[in-house]
């Protein structure tokens, strides 16, 4: 096998491991990512799998980064063509609800479950999640401020409070779908978003 083909094969294997890790983490949590389970699922040796990442923490971080790529493709990218401010904010929320409703991750939003796992822990996984949420907060806040400047939201709108409430709706939607199997929860989420963004 040529070095180029060998490197490409290694990259494909790494991608398979990360994709399976994302699915498994959404179902069983980031702590559920065990080398033995993944090796068995993918037909790899434990040593071969571990050779791609070195540590379980590195695997967890790779899974979170891939999940963020999926989240961005599902939520931010579809909303990008909308006009800045309230139109884009509404588009983001619509895509976010759709992402949860369609269960893009088999066990619901990986970030919701990972937050409950790691919100009180120190370490690299916690630090990465904080950076990811901080980036998303910043993007939402920028759209809220643009909506206020355009007069589409009241001048006294508190962006931090509105971001907090938007997260509350989405986390509640994820919980209701995953725990109760309540498909009508998306309708309630859309009503809540309409109230929050009514201006």
How many independent structural domains does the chain possess?
Answer: 1
Distance (Å, rounded) from C-alpha 117 to C-alpha 31?
8
Q: What is the DSSP letter of 135?
A: H
What is the value of pTM for the model shown? Answer: 0.88
Q: Residue 33 has what pLDDT? A: 85
Per-residue model confidence as pLDDT tens digits over 108-162: 899 988 888 888 888 999 999 999 999 999 999 999 999 999 999 999 999 999 9
**Angstrom distances, CA of residue 136 to CA of 5, 14, 90, 133, 143:** 37, 27, 15, 5, 11
Instruction: Output the domain CATH number for residue 152.
Output: 1.10.357.10
| Domain extent at residue 41 | 3-196
Q: For each successive 10 residues of the chain (199 residues), what is the average pLDDT? A: 67 90 91 85 84 87 95 96 97 97 90 85 91 96 98 97 97 92 93 93
């Amino acid at each position: 096998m040529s070095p180029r083909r060998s490197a490409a094969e290694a990259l494909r294997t790494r991608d398979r491991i990360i994709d399976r890790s994302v699915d498994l983490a959404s179902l069983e949590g980031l702590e559920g990512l065990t080398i033995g389970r993944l090796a068995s699922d993918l037909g790899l040796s434990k040593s071969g799998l571990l050779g791609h990442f070195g540590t379980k923490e590195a695997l967890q971080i790779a899974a979170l980064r891939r999940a963020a790529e999926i989240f961005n493709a599902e939520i931010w990218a579809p909303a990008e063509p909308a006009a800045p401010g309230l139109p884009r904010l509404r588009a983001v929320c619509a895509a976010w609800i759709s992402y949860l409703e369609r269960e893009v991750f088999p066990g619901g939003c990986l970030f919701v479950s990972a937050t409950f796992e790691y919100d009180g822990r120190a370490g690299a996984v916690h630090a990465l999640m904080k950076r990811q949420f901080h980036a998303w907060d910043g993007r939402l806040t920028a759209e809220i401020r643009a909506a206020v400047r355009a007069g589409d939201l009241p001048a006294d709108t508190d962006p931090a409070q509105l971001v907090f409430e938007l997260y509350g709706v989405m986390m509640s939607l994820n919980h209701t779908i995953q725990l109760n199997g309540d498909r009508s929860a998306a309708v309630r989420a859309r009503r809540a978003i309409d109230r929050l963004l009514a201006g």
